[in-house]
Structure 1
Amino acid sequence: MSEKTSVTAAIGGGVIGGGWIARFLLNGHDVNVYDPHPDAQRLVNEVLSNAERALRRMTMAPLPTKGKLTFVSSIAEAVRDADYIQESVPERLDLKLKIFAEIEKHAQPDAMIGSSTSGFRPTQLAEGLKTPERLFVAHPFNPVYLLPVVEVVPSAMTSPAVVERASAFLTTIGMKPLVVRKEIDAHIADRLLEAVWREGLWLVNDGIATTQEIDDVIRFGFGLRWAQMGLFETYRIAGGEAGMAHFIAQFGPALKWPWTKLMDVPEMTDELIATIASQSDAQSGMHSIRELERIRDDNLVAIMQALKAKPWGAGEILKSYEDGLYAKAHAHAATANTEPSGPLALHTDRVREDFVDYNGHMTESRYLQVFGDATDAFLHYIGMNTDYLATGRSMYTVETHIRHLREVKMGEPLRVETRLLGYDSKRARILHELFGGPGDELLATAEHMLLHVDTKKSTASEMGEELRRALANIWAYHKTLETPDYAGKPVRNIATDGL
């Protein structure tokens, strides 16, 4: 499959289906949606709104242009032109079999078909299909647009090439495909969650803990460990210097003690259901579902951003995803101006929700961020790509002068024009002009001095020939442009120049 899928299809737009739709759209893929629910469009658009808000907070990398969302009236219309199809209908095997038969009838011969099922095995889902080799389980976790892991479960009939293509595609949209070695009911994650859920039901049923107390034990305790290390690596540390073998030898006998009731479950009586519901209402009933989703999203973003700085766990997936987004954006920028006869238009953005202060205007730190992104685009334009960086050479910003001229509000478009003011074998001087707002006015300017360095020695060094050639090509045009009178000047002296 190519890096960009022209069309994806989503069959079902509920909580999980809506999350898939958002992830596809926000990664630049068009999505055809079939869901007969009368409120499907409203529900999907509400999920999409939250997803866009969360993803913009999670990554500063330039996202692709959002794909086109189309609601259709039949499965046939949804899948006809789709390269990738994701089924997310209710967990009823008879319904899923009917859906897959209809998909197979109308889908392209090489279309991949994934199921969001949390429990059924792909062999069960492929019953009666003529082309079972392209069907697999792609089980995500809520919210699909933020959490990266997706369990990819093939059956014995699923083509290995299809698994490879599907995994590659899911990786490009920021996910971590985990190919399950053997199909099993409920796959891997839900079997683990089921064990915790069963024990939690018993603790409530027996009056030992409330729903909030159980959640507090998880979110203030082992949940924090699990979020970045999981189960076995956490226990490896618990074993101390002697490691996992010591841990098992020390705590393994406890597994024979009658602590849990995992082979049993309390009867879900009306009384137990009412108890759980009332405790849950007391715990979080003051928030609407959409508010809870946003709180959850903000917390997940914060955790993953913190892990990205390491990079570790989900943060490593986020960093890899962001690197890909930057590479795509910069590659696009590199072809945006084949002849730099005027200022280079290499970077566009918009004033995001987290760019603004209490006045609703973009904060000064975000001006620097936009200019920094524009500098990155310029460097990629002249050939400082990942291959160049891998040689131990880079360019660092060693001096910056920003002028703030006008305010701009949330949601308004931004664009940067960049010109080269001069260069030598080790340095380049560039000027950015930031335009935006409803009148596309000049908002700010930034002048940067860039120094070429040997990153291994942490010293200034001569540029590579490819960078010098690119700068020479730009300079042949930009040296004829009029240099703004403010370029190269220091901050205004109030005593002599006034305000």
Structure 2
Amino acid sequence: MTKVAAIIGGGVIGGGWAARFALMGWEVRVFDPDPEAERKIGEVMGNAGRVLPMLYEAPMPKRGQITLVGSVVEAVTGADWIQESVPERLDIKHRVIAEIQGACPEGAVLASSTSGFKPSELQDGAARPGQIVVAHPFNPVYLLPLAELVPSAVTSPETVARAKEILTAIGMYPLHVRAEIDAHIADRFLEAVWREALWLVKDGIATTEEIDNAIRYGFGLRWAQMGLFETYRVAGGEAGMRHFMAQFGPCLQWPWTKLTDVPEFTDELVDLIAGQSDKQSGHMGIRDLERLRDNNLVAILRGLKQQGAAAGKLILDHDAMLRGPLGDDVPLVTVRRVVPVDWTDMNGHMNEGRYGQLFSDASEELMTHVGADRAYVEAGNSYFTAETTVKYLNETHAGEDIYVTTRVTRGEGKKLRLWHEMCRASDDAVLATCVQFLLHVSLETRRSCPPLPQVLEAVEALAAHHAEAGA
């Protein structure tokens, strides 16, 4: 059954929500009176469609259609999820929420992207306050998984549970904020850092670029994968957090920061910061900056994914959710994916080492198909690659949609030979081929041996099936 998301307000955040839902297979209706909305959302979708699939080894769901509609009513009628992303003015949000609830299903989740308002403030005067929840995301919504999920005392448990389920299903992390508070959790940290940064610039201590460098070359990388408290626990060494608190706790009494004081927001301060920012990155257009940001995030998130840590663990788990059985086709399609940016070399081509990884991924999918899966390996049995021959036939670039087909050309006893073809999805052109010869091995003796009976039977049956089909 087709799932429908309604996005009310198609700016930076609304457009990111639309892209996230559409790329996860939802039909999306967007209402935004801005005459440039279609162009802007199209550009955001172009960015998202290029990079989000790079996070996954599994094939993405069939992309949903984004449709711009002429009214709130048309957008929300029959919708399963409604995301309000209109400007941060409470009177506008109240008016829009009233219009939404006049036409949407009672069982739909009505979520607001608000970064500051509490859900009880949004619910004031609403026809069905229990339907409303805050789902505050972070830009770009289509890459960053965090969504602060904030209910009020009258938000129904069913709405919260359904919101968690849907957000998880589209690859996000719903952080359930248990108590209402202005600006929720994350933005309160950002506001504190922002205030201190304004003072540092105003007082001539640092420029905008120097402050950004302090973050991106230092603690920002730690925060990206450990957060705040875990980072400080590590800083405490073997003695842990207690030692850290004892050592650095007194610093809280020192006048290091000005978090309780805010510089006057004068035209001079705005000009100073805007001028420094223009000097720092004004030579790049917004789309260039977005593309750089997206490429960097993909590389970081894939690195975390490879380690099974932090946000990468979420993607790893979601990747597993998206995988399905291989089926019985000849040849088997063992891999469908997009080439990520971190697979390319200085020429912009896919590095030759990644071809080996791709064909290895294909053989691992086939191993799982015949029962030589993770549990089989953990029990002390596996196939080891003894020899490969790879031929590179065409260039492959980041962002290209590719697939690998695999045929079993020999499967008897402890010997297994596979024929892989890597193809471009857009025209089925063969980009590379690989002959892979594998031997079954006991992980206890590290010597070749026959597979266990159930795996041997599956391999021999697959080899026979492929031979009959002309493999």
| Alignment match of 2:211 (pick from 207, 211, 214) | 214
Aligned AA for 2:215? I
Offset, 1:408: 6.6
More displaced, 49-58 or 120-129? 49-58
CA contact (8 A) 1:436 1:442 kept: yes
1:429 aligns with 2:417: yes
2:7 is the counterpart of 1:10: yes
Partner of 1:20: 17
Provide the C-alpha distance between the structure 1 equivalents of 2:397 and 2:246, rounded to a whole number of angstroms.
61
Equivalent residue, structure 1, for 2:220: 223
Residue in structure 2 matching 1:402, options 385, 390, 412: 390
Equivalence for 2:125: 128
> Which residue matches 1:39?
36
Distance 1:458 1:186, change over 3 A: farther
User: Structure 2 vs 1, CA of residues 188 and 352 (structure 1 numbering), >3 Å: closer, same or farther?
Assistant: closer
Query: Aligned letter for 1:428?
Result: L
Aligned length: 471
Report the residue type matching 2:85 in the other structure: S
Amino acid at match of 1:401: T
Deviations 1:152-182 (CA, angstroms, capped at 9, x unpaired): 1111122223322222222232222211111
Q: Give the aligned partner of residue 490 of structure 1.
A: none
Distance across 1 between alignment mates of 2:351 and 2:300:
24
Q: Aligned residue for 2:468? A: 480
How far does the alpha carbon of each residue in 1:194-213 deviate from its partner, in whole angstroms, 9 at most, with x for none?
11111222222233322222
> By how many angstroms is 1:322 displaced?
2.8
Cα distance change, pair 122–476 in 1 and its aligned pair in 2 (3 A)? same
Residues 42-441 of structure 1 correspond to what in structure 2 (within 5 A)? 42-325=39-322, 328=323, 330-331=324-325, 333-334=326-327, 337=328, 340=329, 342-348=330-336, 364-384=352-372, 394-405=382-393, 414-436=402-424, 440-441=428-429
After TM superposition, the score normalised by the length of structure 2 is 0.88
User: Contact 1:409/1:437 (CA < 8 Å) preserved in 2?
Assistant: no
Deviations 1:382-430 (A, max 9, x none): 3455666675655444432233455677877655443222323544322
Quote the Cα distance in structure 2 between the aligned partners of 1:366 and 1:246: 44
Aligned residue type for 1:157: V
Tell me how far 1:9 sits from its aligned partner.
1.8
Between stretches 278-287 and 377-386, larger displacement belongs to: 377-386
Q: What is the CA-CA distance between 1:49 and the residue it aligns to?
A: 1.7
Task: Give 1:374 deviation, angstroms.
Answer: 3.5
| Shift, 1:349, TM fit | 5.1
Kindly provide the amino acid, as one letter, of the partner of residue 201 in structure 1: L
Shift of the 197–348 alpha-carbon distance from structure 1 to 2, 3 Å rule, reads closer
Q: Match for 2:433 among 439, 445, 449?
A: 445
* Identical pairs, percent: 52
Decide whether the 8 Å contact of 1:57 with 1:354 is kept in 2: no
Whole-angstrom CA distance in 2 between matches of 1:161 and 1:112: 9
Residues 348/244 of structure 1: CA separation in 2 closer, same or farther (3 Å cut) = closer
The offset of 1:255, in angstroms, is 1.8
Structure 2: runs of 5 or more not aligned: none
Structure showing greater relative contact order (alpha-carbon pairs closer than 8 Å, 6 or more residues apart): 2
Q: Which moved more, 1:292-301 or 1:184-193?
A: 292-301
Distance in structure 2 (CA, Å) of the matches to 1:408 and 1:246: 51
Q: Distance in 2 between matches of 1:212 and 1:358?
A: 27
TM-score by length of 1: 0.84
| CA distance, structure 2, for counterparts of residue 435 and residue 214 of structure 1 | 45
Give the AA of the match of 1:344. Answer: L
Give CA-to-partner distance per residue, 1:216-274, whole Å, 9 cap, x none.
22222322222222222222233333322232233223322333322221221111111
Amino acid across the alignment from 1:371: F
The DSSP-based 3-state class of the residue aligned with 1:178 is: strand
Letter in 1 for 2:436: H
